[in-house]
Structure 1
């Protein structure tokens, strides 16, 4: 299958056919949101798997069963992907749902609801590097080409789910008001316990100190990497070139420095500043 055949274009953004279909996207459009649904929203490669390890345990009041018995794509499905068709409607509340969809493409029932959102943002340079390695290993994604070529695709919004800047800015909509908690991947790395406490308060799920400690322990990178329900080792052979890269690769901040040349950094910074100049947003990486 060549690059052109691997994606479908949905309302201007490319999506991999391996996990998206006309039926799954129609389902996402018509999805009936419940008032107590919890959405974790990310641009791809910004900590989705991490959140799928933490939020289900909080929603189940500390019960570890979801992360011990269900693959992450089942315990907290992507709204726009095919498995959601068979999982979400029958699931008891509160439902945990993840999505990469831009805000503009969220269903009308979401906009009219009081469903809560946790939006995780990650340094776009690290997002780019993680995406580059993921495109190298995933047989259902376009070949990334050279790193320089991939960087230009990223900046132009020609990768999955469009431009990083558009995604981040769209989800800052004033329409969301008090329904959304914003956090960065870097904040979670620096203080995971503090992040878990924030999540539990935001979701109205008070937890004991012991339960919080357990969630932090199970949510660390090493634990996730060793959890067969989370490390994508259950994915059939042929979907990933596992010799090229691991799905859970490093889980760190700042790895972009090991990939960017000085010219890459200058080019990226120039476009990033232009795209974010009137966004009125300040992130931890903006000074670096």
Structure 2
């Protein structure tokens, strides 16, 4: 009953009140860290920036970097720019892990940043982003931004037409352009690219360890393993699910698009993204029925 009440409140509270609530929660969390968590290792970087697009486990990454163990081994407090009055391209507060920045590579490079800094971008197969975006817009995402307008359209359309609408919508929002901008950007030591599929897959511990090393956060192996266990995808899903609800961590399996795309949908998708799938290094489309049906890999 309590979970249902929380879910209802989350979906029906005005966005302005949710912003205030998030701000209070963030400040309370950071105050608690400052008071109760001793810093054992200070980061050499002025800021760490988590850059991404939507439907790439941004809430999971944010939770990971808000954990006390990250503060213990970095001295960097978590900072979510959304509850505050930050406006692009102003500098963000120093000594923070900034999560999440939904921004293109060009936009990120135009931000004033301390020297040195570290940044990472989380990418995902854009076909799975479409499917995840469909279910999020239609059922699970809180009512903010354009969610209610898109939700109304999707609830009035058959599933296939809904997928086509989401493809057009994401293209108009610049989601696919942002993915391409990061994938084709010059390689630098300061910026790392990480795949959603690796961060949430079978080698999650190794990949999260690589991410922490990139960010200069020396978490000991035993504490890293405990951190990853606390924030496993299945654990996060159980925390937020209520009976009859659709989880924000709905499924998350790589390749789920194969269960939902047909030739018409893929043709419309390809018309919007061009060779983006290949540029990102994901396997190309195989139109044969055997390649699509029954595969969730």
TM-score tier, shorter chain, comes to 0.5 to 0.7
Q: Does 1:93 align with 2:95?
A: yes
Counterpart position of 1:10: none
Cα shift at 1:213: 0.9
Counterpart position of 1:182: 193
Judged with a 3 Å threshold, the aligned counterparts in structure 2 of structure 1 residues 126 and 173 are, in CA distance, closer, same or farther, namely closer
The aligned length equals 229
Cα shift at 1:18: 4.0
Judged with a 3 Å threshold, the aligned counterparts in structure 2 of structure 1 residues 35 and 185 are, in CA distance, closer, same or farther, namely same
Distance between the aligned counterparts of 2:104 and 2:92, measured in 1?
25
Q: Does 1:212 align with 2:213?
A: no
Counterpart position of 1:52: 62
Counterpart position of 1:284: 282
Judged with a 3 Å threshold, the aligned counterparts in structure 2 of structure 1 residues 90 and 41 are, in CA distance, closer, same or farther, namely closer
Counterpart position of 1:163: 174
Judged with a 3 Å threshold, the aligned counterparts in structure 2 of structure 1 residues 94 and 129 are, in CA distance, closer, same or farther, namely same
Counterpart position of 1:263: 264
Judged with a 3 Å threshold, the aligned counterparts in structure 2 of structure 1 residues 259 and 276 are, in CA distance, closer, same or farther, namely closer
Q: Is the 8 A contact 1:102 1:161 kept in 2?
A: no
Greater RCO between the two (CA within 8 Å, min separation 6)? 1
Judged with a 3 Å threshold, the aligned counterparts in structure 2 of structure 1 residues 215 and 247 are, in CA distance, closer, same or farther, namely same
Q: Is the 8 A contact 1:56 1:96 kept in 2?
A: no
Of 20, 37, 45, the residue aligned with 2:47 is: 37
Counterpart position of 1:119: 121
Cα shift at 1:176: 6.8
3-state SS of 1:95 partner: strand
Q: Is the 8 A contact 1:53 1:224 kept in 2?
A: no
1:102-155 deviation per Cα after TM superposition (whole angstroms, max 9, x unaligned):
234448443675432111111111111111111112444122423434433444
1:227-255 deviation per Cα after TM superposition (whole angstroms, max 9, x unaligned):
4xxx398xxxxxxxx95622121122122
1:25-55 deviation per Cα after TM superposition (whole angstroms, max 9, x unaligned):
xxxxxxxxx9621111111111112211322
Q: Does 1:225 align with 2:237?
A: yes
Judged with a 3 Å threshold, the aligned counterparts in structure 2 of structure 1 residues 209 and 35 are, in CA distance, closer, same or farther, namely closer
Counterpart position of 2:10: none
Q: Is the 8 A contact 2:45 2:115 kept in 1?
A: yes
Q: Does 1:246 align with 2:256?
A: no
Structure 2 matches for 1:103-118, cutoff 5 A?
103-106=105-108, 108-110=110-112, 113-118=115-120
3-state SS of 1:99 partner: strand
3-state SS of 1:207 partner: coil
Cα shift at 1:90: 10
Cα shift at 1:214: 0.5
Distance between the aligned counterparts of 1:110 and 1:175, measured in 2?
18
Counterpart position of 1:198: 210
Counterpart position of 2:72: 61
Q: Is the 8 A contact 1:41 1:100 kept in 2?
A: yes
TM-score of the aligned structures, taking structure 1 as reference length: 0.65
Q: Which has the larger radius of gyration?
A: 2
3-state SS of 1:119 partner: strand
Distance between the aligned counterparts of 1:92 and 1:106, measured in 2?
16
